[in-house]
Amino acid sequence: MATIKELRRRLDNKELSVKQLLDEYFAKIRQNNAAINAFITVTEAEAYAQAGDAQKLIDDGKALPLTGIPLAIKDNISTKDIPTTCASKMLSNYVPTFDATVISKLKKQGAIIVGKTNMDEFAMGSTSETSYFGSVKNPINTEYVPGGSSGGSAACVADGMAVAALGSDTGGSIRQPAAFCGVTGLKPTYGRVSRYGLVAFASSLDQIGPIASSAEDCGIILNAIAGGDEFDMTSSSKPVDDFTSAIGDSLKGKVIGLPKEFFEAGLTEEVKNSVFEAVEVFKKLGCEVKEVSLKSLKYAVSAYYLISSAEASSNLSRYDGIKYGYRSEKGDTYHKNVRFTRDEGFGREVKRRILLGIYGLSSGYYDAYYNKAVLVRSKIMDEYNAIFEQCDLIISPTAPTTAFKIGNNIDDPVKLYMADIYTVTTNIAGLPAISTPCGKAANGLPIGLQITGKAFDERQLVAVCAAYEKSVKGGAL
C-alpha cells in the first residue's frame, strides 16, 4: 500500500502525473471491485475531470499535501452531483446538491475522489452485510466480513483501490473495520471534524475520520478536514494542530493504561496475546504501563445501543417518501403511503434500531431505559477522566475477535452488538482513538490494537501510533 507521503514525493518530482496515478487506481478498481464490492459508485469521469486542476497546482509548485491523491468517501457523506445512498433503498436515487464540509476541504486541497464506498445501511451494523447493494467482502479473505459500518472504506484501502478513505464512526465504525482489514483508522474527538453533510445516524456520537495505511497518513488527512464550521454548531473552535508534528518524538516517560476489564471474558487468546506483545513494544520505546479500571464497561454496549437507537429513531423520521428519497406506490392516504414507504425503503437492521429507539423513548420506559443509559454515559466519562489523570494514553484490543465469516452472525444481533464492546466507550465519552494492526491470527486475518487519547489530543495519538508502526516495520506484521 502506497503512502500519501510517498505519492506526494513522486508527484512533486514528476515521476508520475496525476492522470497516471489515477490510471493505476482505476485499473485496480476495475479488476477487484466486483469481488470485494467496496464501492457503490465509482466516479471515474469526475476524477479525471479533477486531475487537470490538481496537475496544474503541482506544475506551479503550489501542491498541498493531498493534491492529486486518490481518496474514497463513505457513502453517507454528501457529495454534490454524486449519489449519496447510505447503502439504502430509501436513498438509492438521492443526488445531493451540496458538498459536506469535509468534501469541500478535500477539494480545496486538490484531492481526487475515486468513488463512494459501500457500508452498512445508514451506518447501522458491524459487518457491512446490511447494505442494499450487497455485502462487502474482506480483501484478506473474501469469505469473511470486512467489519462495519465503514467496511467499504477499509476494504478499498486494504486492497489498494484508494490511497485512503473517509469513514464515519458512531460506535467503532472506523476502527473495527480497520482492524478486520489490517489498516489504520482514526476516530477524532467529537467536534474535531464538522459533521455538516454527514447523514445522521446518532448525532451525539457520529464523527467523520480517516482510514489509511498508516497513522501518519491519518494525521495528514485530519490536518485537511479538522476545524470548526459555522454549519455545524457541535464542531469545536479549538485551534487545529499539525497532527503529524510530534511524529518522531521520544515516548520515554509516557504512561499507558491497560483497562483490566478489556482483557476479561469474551476476548480470544490470539487477540489478547497480540495486544500484550504490542504492550511490550511500547515498554521498549520507554513507556510505563499500568493497570487501570473502567468498571462501567459491562454496561457500555447496552447504553450505546439505547442512546444511538433513540437518536436514530428521531433522525430517520425525516424519511417519509414525500420530500426526497424512495416513495412507495402503495397507500391511498398520506399515513398509509408513509408506512409503506418506510416498510419497503428501510432494511431489517434499520427497522430494528428504530423500534428499539422508539421503545426506549416511549412513555413509561424513558426513565427505565433511556435515562439510565444517559447516566451510564456520564459515569463512563467520569471513569475516563479519572484514568487520564494518571495516564497519557490507553491501550486495548480494537475488537474481541478477528473478522468472522459472512453470514455467521447476521441473524444474532446481540452477538454482533457485543463485537463493539471495546470501541463504543470512546464515542460515548467523545474521545479520540486509533486502531492499527498488531498481528495476525492463525487463519491469516489481522488483529487490531486500539489506542485511546485525551480529548483533542490527536497529535499525541498519531505520534504514539506512528512510533509503534515504525517499530514493527510499518505495521507489516
Residues 94 and 133 in one domain: yes
pLDDT computed for residue 477 by the predictor: 45
Residues 6+ apart with CB under 8 A from 425: 294, 296, 297, 300, 380, 384
Residues 172 and 315 in one domain: no
**pLDDT digits over 320-355, tens only?**
999 889 999 999 999 999 999 999 999 999 999 999
Looking at residue 88, its amino acid is S
Whether residue 254 lies in the annotated active site: no
Residue 91 lies in a domain: yes
Residues 350 and 429 in one domain: no
**pLDDT digits over 7-47, tens only?**
999 999 999 999 999 999 999 999 999 999 999 999 999 99
DSSP alpha helices (H): ranges in 18-112? 18-36, 44-59, 101-109
pLDDT computed for residue 476 by the predictor: 43
Looking at residue 211, its amino acid is I
Whether residue 108 lies in the annotated active site: no
Burial class (CB in 10 A: 0-12, 13-18, 19+), 404: buried
Residues 186 and 333 in one domain: no
Query: Which of 374, 403, 418 represents a domain boundary (last residue)?
Result: 374
Residue 266 lies in a domain: no
Residues 220 and 350 in one domain: no
Whether residue 265 has pLDDT greater than 90 = no
Do 324 and 94 contact (CB within 8 A), yes or no?
Answer: yes
Q: How far apart are CA 66 and CA 63, in angstroms?
A: 8
Residue 434's SS3 state is: strand
Residue 256 lies in a domain: no
Residue 363 — pLDDT band, cuts 50, 70, 90?
confident
Residues 429 and 344 in one domain: no
Residues 363 and 401 in one domain: no
Residue 258 lies in a domain: no
| Count of the separate structural domains present in the chain | 2
The 8 Å CB, 24+ separation contacts for 343-349 are 344/89, 345/88, 345/89, 345/90, 345/319, 345/321, 346/88, 346/89, 346/90, 346/121, 346/316, 346/319, 347/88, 347/89, 347/121, 347/130, 347/132, 348/130, 349/120, 349/121, 349/124, 349/125, 349/130, 349/413
The share of the chain scoring above pLDDT 90, in percent, equals 94
**pLDDT digits over 418-447, tens only?**
889 999 999 999 999 999 999 999 999 999
Do 189 and 428 contact (CB within 8 A), yes or no?
Answer: no
Residues 306 and 172 in one domain: no
Whether residue 223 has pLDDT greater than 80 = yes
> Which residues constitute the domain of residue 456?
4-251+395-471
Whether residue 362 lies in the annotated active site: no
Residue 270 lies in a domain: no
Residue 279 lies in a domain: no
Catalytic residue from among 78, 88, 173, 235: 173
pLDDT computed for residue 475 by the predictor: 43
Residue 321 lies in a domain: yes
Residue 107's SS3 state is: helix
Residues 141 and 205 in one domain: yes
DSSP alpha helices (H): ranges in 142-268? 151-158, 175-181, 215-225
Residue 275 lies in a domain: no
DSSP tag of 261: G
List the grid coordinates of 390.
494518571
Residue 208's SS3 state is: strand
Residues 117 and 188 in one domain: yes
Residues 46 and 107 in one domain: yes
Query: What is the average pLDDT across 455-461?
Result: 98
Catalytic residue from among 126, 128, 149, 396: 149
Q: Which of 75, 123, 353, 149 is nearest to 342 (CA)?
A: 353
Residue 241 — pLDDT band, cuts 50, 70, 90?
confident
Query: Which of 340, 374, 408 represents a domain boundary (last residue)?
Result: 374
Angle at Cα 116 formed by Cα 112 and Cα 120, nearest 5°?
150
Q: How do the residues of the chain divide into helix, strand and coil, expressed in percent and rounded to 5?
A: 40, 15, 45
What is the domain-level CATH number for residue 152?
Answer: 3.90.1300.10
**pLDDT digits over 373-395, tens only?**
999 999 999 999 999 999 999 99
Query: What is the average pLDDT across 442-464?
Result: 98
Residue labelled with grid coordinates 487520564: 388
Catalytic residue from among 74, 137, 187, 254: 74
Whether residue 183 has pLDDT greater than 80 = yes
φ and ψ of 142, to 5 deg: -70, 0
Residues 136 and 75 in one domain: yes
